[in-house]
Amino acid sequence: MPSAVVSPQTTTTPAGNRRWPPIIWAALIGTFAIRALGFAYPFLTYHCDSLGLSAQTTGWVVASFGVGWLIGQVGGGWLSDRIGPRATLVYAMATATVILPILAEVRSSTGLITAALLTGVVYDAARPVITTLIDDTFPTKPQQVLVSGWRHFSVNIGAALTGSLGGYLAATAGLPTLFWVNALACAVFGVAAVLLLPPCTRRRNDSEETKAGYTHAVRDARLWLLSMASLCALICAGSVFTALPMLMTSDGLDATAYGWTQVANAAAVLILSPFMTPWLSRRAAHGGPMTGLLAVSALLLGAGMGLAGLADSTIAYCLAAAAAVPGEIILFIAAGDLVARLAPPGAHGRYAGLWGSNLALAVIAAPLLAAWSLSHGGGVTATWTTCGAGALGAVLCWPLHSSIRTADARLTL
């Protein structure tokens, strides 16, 4: 019979005073490290271009990475609930340590597509695992929102280093070096997980497992609405890493210029996060669903990244990347709060993994949308499609809010 994972012991320490358990600090520092040195995806397009691959083949390689990302989010969430966060994280990092060097050295299109698929599976596998750790460690919504906000902060600061350091290494040591460094970072994080994260004991709980299974999740209409609204917003947010390089390449700008857009994006995060994260935490304390803020984030992201379609210089692209930041911060915090609200006991990893799969879908959709826009009107078309995606995400938040309120009302009867 299936077994469920026992959560780590929760803490009653207020999240606001930063007296967090060591496992949370380890998770945040590890998140920063693998994002800062996570060169595989942001520079995959440039790697394919350096090998002389056609635009069509490059598109297949990038899309296969996105398919792997999708598999990794769903599988990572399931494993986190079944065998525990530490074991899941260790397995994912060990796999990444092996597969990333293969992606760096393989030259055939078939080999690249296969390696990109496998890399995608483990590239962001830490996301649902760390979401489970946060939800299991902190008992209240404001605490979870605050820590999740600082996790997003560490991700974006890491992304700044990814762009700037990656651009420098690409110019001096070559693109394959980026993938080897990425593999080394994953190896170190895997070892740190073994040493610092506590093992999860397991117990039998058939009723909880039945309730918390994926069958229950995929039948949850609220999760579907949240996923569709988030996907629209994430297509806009993901454009910073997917569509932006394509738009910049069409304007003759190189990887170094792209690196500067990531610096601008992270600089805006550095400035805004200390103000926005505590404010969003206080909003979560009020107890209501953050659907309105999710709608605002979709509109801000659509408008912010829509500016990239009108850009034609490094400075203009940097401004567009920075303009998207308020929407990014709100999106990940509001969506994280809603996922925690919807997930039944014992299913935090599954729900987080299913929501995280929207990141993978956005990674697939954003470059395809950008490629279509560039071939059907250029930057102006890209602006309209990006703004339209953001607007659709905001509209979907209305039925999401109604469904959550209806479900809450039934529970109080």
More confident residue, 387 or 83: 387
CA 330 to CA 293: how far, in whole Å? 7
Check whether 14 has a pLDDT greater than 70. Answer: no
pLDDT given for residue 386 in this prediction? 92
The helix or strand, by DSSP H or E, that contains position 363, with its residue range, turns out to be helix 348-375
Alpha helices in 286-311 (DSSP H): 291-306
The single-letter DSSP state of residue 20 is: -
CA 377 to CA 379: how far, in whole Å? 7
CB neighbourhood size of 22 (10 A): 10
pLDDT given for residue 412 in this prediction? 58
Specify whether the CB–CB gap between 12 and 139 falls below 8 A: yes
Q: Give residue-wise pLDDT tens across range 285-308.
A: 776 788 999 999 999 999 999 888
Highest mean pLDDT: which of 129-133, 218-222, 306-310, 396-400?
396-400
Specify whether the CB–CB gap between 245 and 58 falls below 8 A: no
Residue type, 287: G
pLDDT given for residue 82 in this prediction? 83
In this prediction, residue 9 has a pLDDT band, given cuts at 50, 70 and 90, of: very low
pLDDT given for residue 208 in this prediction? 47
